[in-house]
């Protein structure tokens, strides 16, 4: 209906005050219309007000369609309530990719390594899973320093096609985590070549070169990535780190601001921003940035 459309249009068009006024003053909202309560839940989630969003989703979930339950489960995960998210995934069943993937995130929050690995196994057994899903799980395990488990998945992934760019990117990360910088650079160069310069591969190449001390090579790849997609957050993060490495703190600050304008709760960038501010003599700004980090839920 038009009234609901206007609320969404105002909110996502940037006029949030107007959207909020229209929503709370709507007779449909006051009468607990499901679509209007759902709009309230989504608006709260967009503001990262997980508490309010969870409350609204809880009000409507008994009468909601499955897609709303998926949304609710995701909000409960974001709001650090993985047990309730798991209950919702149980209601939805354990056959859809969304449920299977969500369970991995929930068990990860709970710190249950055995359940995480079982959930990953169930997820990858789904007939609709491909190399991208394998890569997601391998990267998650590498980020959690579960190198042996990541290697097992990597071996399974490699049985089908060791020339696949997704496999090569995972393999380069695995070699990097193992301290094999030369091997990592070789694998990622092959990934860039076989993917025809896919931006994810180019950005990873820039990151690996930076970590191996090849700043000039990293800069070259970073420029290439930003030519493909100037606002790519991963490319901006590499550029930020290159500038910090070179001691160009003023330029690094500008990149930090660009990243935070798109991802306001990026704690890594906020920490680097505080460091750059202190290096440029802005101790007050540095302290304020650090205090902002403490306020993040």
Give the contacts of 163 (CB within 8 A, at least 6 positions apart).
Answer: 190, 194
Asked if the model's pLDDT at residue 45 lies above 70, the reply is yes
pLDDT tens profile 258-279: 999 998 889 999 999 999 999 9
Instruction: Please indicate, yes or no, if residue 10 is contained in any of the structural domains.
Output: no
Based on the fold, state whether residues 125 and 140 are members of the same structural domain. no
- Which of 129, 163, 196 delimits the end of a domain? 129
Pick the closest to residue 246 from 268, 225, 222, 224 (CA basis): 222
Based on the fold, state whether residues 156 and 175 are members of the same structural domain. yes
Q: What is the pLDDT of residue 93?
A: 80
Based on the fold, state whether residues 160 and 217 are members of the same structural domain. yes
pLDDT tens profile 126-181: 888 888 999 999 999 998 889 999 999 999 999 888 899 999 999 999 999 989 99
Based on the fold, state whether residues 139 and 237 are members of the same structural domain. yes
CA distances from 156 to 13, 141, 145, 150 (A): 45, 14, 19, 10
Joined tokens for residue 102: 């969500």
Domain containing 227: what range?
132-246
How many angstroms separate the CA atoms of 173 and 184, rounded? 7
- Which of 108, 129, 150 delimits the end of a domain? 129
Q: What is the pLDDT of residue 297?
A: 57
**68, 60 contact by CB (below 8 A):** yes
What's the pTM value of the predicted model, to 2 decimals? 0.80
Q: What is the pLDDT of residue 164?
A: 92
pLDDT tens profile 56-109: 999 998 887 889 999 999 999 988 899 999 999 988 887 788 899 999 999 999
Asked if the model's pLDDT at residue 31 lies above 80, the reply is yes
Q: What is the mean pLDDT of the chain?
A: 92
Q: What is the pLDDT of residue 142?
A: 92
Angle made by CA atoms 258, 260, 263, in degrees to the nearest 5: 120
H/E segment holding residue 160: none
pLDDT tens profile 186-228: 999 999 999 998 999 999 999 999 999 999 999 999 999 999 9
Asked if the model's pLDDT at residue 25 lies above 60, the reply is yes
Residues 116-129: what's their mean pLDDT?
90
For residue 86, give the CATH number of its domain.
Answer: 1.25.40.10
- Which of 129, 149, 170 delimits the end of a domain? 129
Q: Is 111 left (phi over 0), alpha (psi -120 to 50) or beta?
A: left
Q: Is 213 left (phi over 0), alpha (psi -120 to 50) or beta?
A: left
């Amino acid at each position: 209906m038009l009234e609901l459309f206007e609320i969404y249009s105002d909110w996502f068009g940037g006029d949030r005050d107007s959207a909020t006024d229209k929503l709370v003053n709507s007779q449909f909202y006051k009468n607990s219309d499901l679509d209007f309560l759902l709009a309230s839940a989504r608006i709260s989630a967009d503001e990262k007000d997980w508490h309010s969003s969870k409350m609204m989703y809880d009000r409507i979930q008994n009468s909601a369609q499955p897609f709303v339950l998926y949304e609710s489960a995701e909000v409960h995960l974001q709001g650090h309530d993985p047990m309730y998210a798991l209950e919702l995934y149980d209601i939805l069943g354990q056959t859809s990719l969304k449920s299977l993937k969500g369970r991995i995130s929930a068990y990860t929050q709970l710190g249950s390594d055995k359940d995480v690995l079982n959930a990953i196994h169930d997820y990858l057994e789904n007939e609709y899973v491909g190399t991208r899903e394998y890569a997601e799980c391998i990267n998650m395990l590498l980020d959690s320093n579960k190198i042996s488990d990541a290697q097992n998945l990597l071996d399974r992934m490699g049985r089908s096609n060791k020339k696949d760019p997704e496999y090569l990117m995972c393999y380069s990360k695995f070699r990097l985590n193992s301290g094999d910088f030369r091997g990592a650079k070789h694998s990622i160069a092959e990934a860039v070549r076989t993917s025809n310069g896919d931006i994810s591969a180019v950005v990873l190449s820039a990151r690996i070169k930076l970590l191996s001390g090849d700043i000039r090579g990293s800069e070259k790849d970073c420029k290439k990535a930003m030519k493909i997609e100037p606002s790519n957050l991963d490319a901006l993060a590499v550029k930020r780190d290159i500038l910090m490495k070179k001691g160009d703190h003023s330029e690094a600050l500008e990149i930090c601001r660009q990243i935070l304008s798109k991802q306001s709760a990026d704690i890594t960038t906020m920490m680097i921003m505080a460091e750059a501010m202190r290096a440029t003599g802005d101790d007050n700004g540095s302290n304020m940035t650090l205090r902002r980090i403490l306020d993040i839920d």
